[in-house]
A and B are shown apart, each in its own frame.
Chain A
Amino acid sequence: NAGVTQTPKFQVLKTGQSMTLQCAQDMNHNSMYWYRQDPGMGLRLIYYSASEGTTDKGEVPNGYNVSRLNKREFSLRLESAAPSQTSVYFCASSSTGTGTQYFGPGTRLTVL
């Protein structure tokens, strides 16, 4: 049982480059989330998807786009990476209304 998987685990980008972070869950959850975690800031919600076909902005959406490809997959795209986007990115999923989220192992992104 894989739970929530993320790829890649590590990535180094140059300013202005683009990339897509992939996330998949095999728990049949409706809701999926993308967070970033920075020292002293805690986890901050970037985007979330309450169900297949819907996405909504979170606390820090600027510079990011998302796609809920199907019920299993939720991707995060950086169109033009900036050093301020250096962070650890976590994907999570949950069943509707439970309040319990399951996290992937994270992607450590450095933008030079």
Chain B
Amino acid sequence: RKEVEQDPGPFNVPEGATVAFNCTYSNSASQSFFWYRQDCRKEPKLLMSVYSSGNEDGRFTAQLNRASQYISLLIRDSKLSDSATYLCVVNFYTDKLIFGTGTRLQVFP
């Protein structure tokens, strides 16, 4: 079983739609959680951290369920510029990150 699992997609949604991505992780001792964004043929960049109480950054909302070992990302009012691959990332111990394979999002006009 992979340590971090994501639905690879692609998710094809129209502009203005709401879309949600899910991610599960296998190690219950995981400490920190993140969503990274990777544009085609570019490097990954941090989108947002994920906190136990849930957190929001503009149109993006991240949720964590430690009991189910489940992380989610919700994007509201999708823009064309949101088209990218979204990587679920887990930190098991200091400084080493485990990356999911990513979920591809394509927003169309």
Query: A residues touching B (Cβ–Cβ < 8 Å)?
Result: 31, 40-45, 48, 50, 58, 90, 94, 96-97, 99-101, 103-106
Which residues of B (53-109) have their CB < 8 Å from a CB of A? 87, 91, 94-97, 99-102
- 3 closest A-B pairs by CB: A103-B43, A42-B101, A43-B99
User: A99 near B49 (CB under 8 angstroms)?
Assistant: yes
Point out the residue from B95, B99, B102 that lies within 8 Å of A48, measured CB to CB. Answer: B95
Cβ contacts under 8 Å, B8 to chain A? 40
Query: B residues touching A (Cβ–Cβ < 8 Å)?
Result: 8, 32, 34, 42-46, 49, 87, 91, 94-97, 99-102
Given A90-B44, A99-B91, A100-B46; A45-B96 close (CB under 8 Å): yes
Nearest chain B CB to A24's CB is how many angstroms away? 15
Cβ contacts under 8 Å, A103 to chain B? 43-45
B-side interface mostly: strand
Cβ contacts under 8 Å, A42 to chain B? 87, 99-102
A-side interface mostly: loop
User: A105 near B43 (CB under 8 angstroms)?
Assistant: yes
Bound Cα distance from A42 to B2, whole angstroms: 11
User: B95 near A99 (CB under 8 angstroms)?
Assistant: yes
Nearest chain B CB to A4's CB is how many angstroms away? 8
User: B101 near A31 (CB under 8 angstroms)?
Assistant: no
Bound Cα distance from A104 to B42, whole angstroms: 9
Bound Cα distance from A99 to B97, whole angstroms: 7
Bound Cα distance from A40 to B96, whole angstroms: 21
Query: Could you jot down 15 A-B contacts, CB within 8 Å?
Result: A41-B101, A42-B87, A43-B87, A45-B96, A48-B95, A58-B96, A90-B44, A94-B95, A99-B32, A99-B34, A99-B91, A100-B46, A103-B43, A105-B42, A106-B43
Cβ contacts under 8 Å, B43 to chain A? 90, 103-106
